[in-house]
């Protein structure tokens, strides 16, 4: 007896995860692969999309050869990926150079130059987003200026999910949810404004055709079939932005529903029924047609805790190795042993500059309140609280822009920590609900495959596939402590920004030529 199987592939920052799910949303199998990230100079954070392709194909091959399902039951494939890639590929579909990823800020001078000729209000009115080096726009111009030999050979500049779709099908695409990375695309319609493209320094002919995220854009080729085990001819949809697929995977697709992201980056995606442009936030189209996502995020969410664990977590690492336990569990347990406020310690999570709502590539991380009594547990908790403060800062700005949020639907690695989830509830004053699946993002990609191939409409898929496990509710007494801490947090950036910028300038003096 045959059954429908849908595949979802997630191209994250540190690795790829692929899922196979049935028509009821049951996960049949999963596979993961990791890949590298390079930081060759201050402000440079880049990745090789060829590694993403290898990781995706290896993950898919593991799924198809594992025996959990018959590959001939595959009805469709969906791919999601990290934001704001600018992957140059040639006429033969070869990746020409590493792409600056979403944390890269090398193109800040290019942004400054563009904003000297194109008014910020014009860009915001069309694209719904301010110009920033994090976005794909300035990265493409950077290639034209600094790697002209790559730019001239590039037939397309692709997003992260698009490069996987290209490898699977031979079709170059841009889905509407990733279009917000290009400031020459109208966020309301998804169409390219050719005049604006030229003013920004982008050749519109190097932007692929745009599609809805659930649109079937091609079929698995014979060569891709041999490498993955997916039968040739299987439909592949355009896919979408990881944050948008994660939002769908939590069941958020109606206005007001909000996904909270606890991955390498942190932040939120609020579903809105009209494009609401606010220069302090991020606006994109959802992977579900007819609605948009008002987003905000810190660059270093869980990445802040991972950094601190590498630096001071030797004891937790040693104990985990000796006991066969998880380092993350030990770190969060240590944080849970410390009271709210971390003994009067506050952390600014600006370890890689900051996105919304500060938009300051030269912002820098900081601890304030260190004493001789500060231990590792207090440091860990302060980092968790600082990331939660950043989330609240973005939510406050969204409220000012007119958004409404009643509940946070959480995804990402941070959901494994009850301590961190409770901190986020107490800091934001909102219930935080965690799904019973840790795969909301690739699940959302698989849902797109089902949507595009007749596997159900969005209401049916959300009702049948999304299941919630636990809700953390704010504690009013603890929230009063965090109210005071938040006021300190908000004031520190204003006070420290000039010093942060000077320190960033000092750091750039060591930058190696590229």
Q: Is the pLDDT of residue 1 over 60?
A: no
Q: What is the DSSP letter of 66?
A: S
Q: Are 360 and 497 in contact (CB under 8 A)?
A: yes
* Conformation bin of residue 25: beta by default, left when phi > 0, alpha when psi is -120 to 50: left
Give 315's pLDDT tier (boundaries 50, 70, 90): confident
Q: Are 228 and 220 in contact (CB under 8 A)?
A: yes
What is each CA distance from 400 to 96, 122, 277, 288, 403, in whole angstroms?
Answer: 43, 22, 12, 25, 7
Tell which residue, 237, 383, 370, 411, has the closest CA to residue 303. Answer: 383
Structure tokens at 399: 């409220």
- What is the pLDDT averaged over residues 292-305? 93
Distance CA 350, CA 368 (A): 13
- List 410's β-bridge partners, or say none: 260, 434
288 lies in some domain: no
- pLDDT at site 264: 80
Element of type H or E holding 205: none
Between residues 501 and 316, the one the model is more confident about: 501
Q: Are 45 and 103 in contact (CB under 8 A)?
A: yes
Q: Are 95 and 166 in contact (CB under 8 A)?
A: no
pLDDT over 90 for what percent of the chain? 87
- What is the pLDDT averaged over residues 279-302? 94
Q: pLDDT tens across 38-84, in order? A: 999 888 999 999 999 999 999 999 999 999 999 999 999 999 999 99
Helices (H), 118-178: 120-127, 136-146, 148-153, 160-169
Q: Are strands 74-81 and 240-241 parallel, antiparallel or unpaired?
A: parallel
Give 514's pLDDT tier (boundaries 50, 70, 90): very low
229 lies in some domain: yes
- pLDDT at site 130: 94
Structural domain for 135, as ranges: 5-238+436-466
Asked, as a colleague might, if the bond just before 357 is cis with ω within 30 of 0, I would say yes
Distance CA 300, CA 358 (A): 14
Q: Is the pLDDT of residue 499 over 80?
A: yes
What is each CA distance from 315 to 23, 318, 327, in whole angstroms?
Answer: 45, 5, 10
Question: What is the number of domains present in the chain?
Answer: 1
Q: Is the pLDDT of residue 512 over 60?
A: no
Distance CA 158, CA 167 (A): 12
Instruction: Give, to the nearest 10 degrees, the angle between helix 418-428 and helix 476-508.
Output: 100
Distance CA 36, CA 47 (A): 7
- What is the pLDDT averaged over residues 382-401? 97
Distance CA 472, CA 300 (A): 23
| CATH number for the domain that contains residue 22 | 3.30.420.40
Q: pLDDT tens across 26-45, in order? A: 999 999 999 999 999 888 99
Residue 66 φ then ψ, to 5°: -80, -15
492 lies in some domain: no
Q: Is the pLDDT of residue 430 over 60?
A: yes
Distance CA 242, CA 32 (A): 16
Give 513's pLDDT tier (boundaries 50, 70, 90): very low
Q: Is the pLDDT of residue 15 over 80?
A: yes
Q: Are 137 and 131 in contact (CB under 8 A)?
A: yes
Q: Is the pLDDT of residue 126 over 70?
A: yes
Residue with tokens 């979802």: 8
Beta strand segments in 55-209, E: 74-81, 87-89, 99-100, 156-158, 174-175
CB count, 10 Å around CB of 229?
Answer: 18
pLDDT over 70 for what percent of the chain? 99
135 lies in some domain: yes
196 lies in some domain: yes
Q: Is the pLDDT of residue 437 over 90?
A: no
- pLDDT at site 42: 81
pTM attached to this predicted model: 0.91
- pLDDT at site 511: 56
82 lies in some domain: yes
Q: pLDDT tens across 199-215, in order? A: 999 999 999 999 999 99
Q: What is the DSSP letter of 264?
A: S
Length of the chain: 514
Give 103's pLDDT tier (boundaries 50, 70, 90): confident
Distance CA 215, CA 198 (A): 28
Q: What is the mean pLDDT of the chain?
A: 95
- pLDDT at site 510: 65
Beta strand segments in 229-312, E: 235-237, 240-241, 258-262, 266-272, 282-285, 292-298
405 lies in some domain: no
């Amino acid at each position: 007896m045959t059954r429908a199987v849908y595949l979802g592939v997630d191209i994250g920052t540190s690795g790829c995860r692929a899922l196979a799910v049935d028509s009821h949303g049951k996960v049949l199998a999963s596979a993961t692969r990791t890949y590298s990230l390079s930081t060759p100079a201050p402000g440079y954070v880049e990745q090789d999309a060829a590694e993403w392709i290898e990781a995706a194909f290896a993950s898919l091959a593991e799924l198809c050869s594992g025996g959990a399902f018959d590959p001939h039951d595959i009805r469709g494939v969906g791919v999601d990926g990290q934001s704001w890639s600018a992957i140059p590929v040639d006429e033969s579909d070869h990746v020409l150079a590493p792409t600056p990823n979403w944390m890269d800020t090398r193109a800040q001078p290019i942004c400054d130059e563009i904003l000297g000729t194109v008014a910020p209000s014009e860009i915001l009115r069309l694209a719904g987003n301010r110009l920033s080096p994090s976005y794909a726009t300035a990265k493409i111009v950077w290639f034209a200026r600094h790697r002209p030999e790559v730019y001239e050979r590039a037939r397309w500049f692709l997003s992260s999910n698009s490069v996987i779709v290209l490898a699977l099908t031979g079709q170059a695409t841009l889905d509407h949810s990733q279009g917000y990375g290009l400031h020459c695309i109208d966020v309301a319609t998804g169409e390219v404004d050719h005049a604006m493209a030229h003013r920004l320094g982008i050749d519109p002919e190097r932007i692929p055709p745009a599609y809805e995220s659930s649109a079937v854009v091609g079929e698995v080729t014979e060569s891709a079939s041999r490498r993955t085990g997916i039968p040739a001819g299987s439909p592949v949809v355009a896919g979408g932005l990881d944050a948008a697929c994660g939002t769908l995977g939590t069941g958020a697709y109606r206005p007001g529903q909000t996904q909270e992201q606890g991955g390498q980056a942190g932040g939120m995606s609020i579903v809105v029924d009209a494009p609401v442009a606010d220069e302090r936030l991020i606006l994109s189209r959802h992977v579900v047609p007819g609605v948009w996502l008002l987003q905000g995020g810190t660059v270093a969410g869980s990445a802040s805790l991972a950094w601190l664990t590498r630096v001071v977590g030797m004891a937790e690492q040693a104990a985990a190795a000796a006991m066969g336990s998880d380092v993350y569990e030990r770190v969060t347990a240590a944080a849970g042993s410390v009271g709210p406020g971390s003994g009067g310690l506050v952390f600014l999570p600006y370890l890689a500059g900051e996105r919304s709502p500060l938009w300051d590539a030269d912002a820098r991380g900081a601890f304030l309140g260190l004493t001789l009594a500060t231990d590792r547990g207090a440091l860990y908790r302060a980092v968790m609280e600082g990331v939660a403060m950043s989330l609240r800062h973005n939510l406050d700005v969204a409220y000012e822009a007119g958004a409404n949020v009643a509940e946070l639907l959480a995804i990402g690695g941070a959901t494994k920590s009850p301590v961190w989830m409770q901190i986020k509830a107490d800091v934001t004053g909102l219930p935080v609900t965690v799904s019973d699946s840790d795969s909301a993002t690739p699940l959302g990609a698989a849902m797109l495959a089902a949507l595009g191939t007749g596997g159900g409409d969005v209401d049916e898929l959300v009702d049948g596939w999304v299941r919630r496990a636990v809700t953390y509710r704010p504690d009013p007494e603890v929230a009063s402590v965090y109210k005071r801490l938040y006021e300190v947090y908000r004031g520190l950036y204003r006070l420290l920004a000039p010093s942060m910028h000077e320190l960033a300038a000092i750091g750039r003096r060591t930058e190696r030529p590229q």
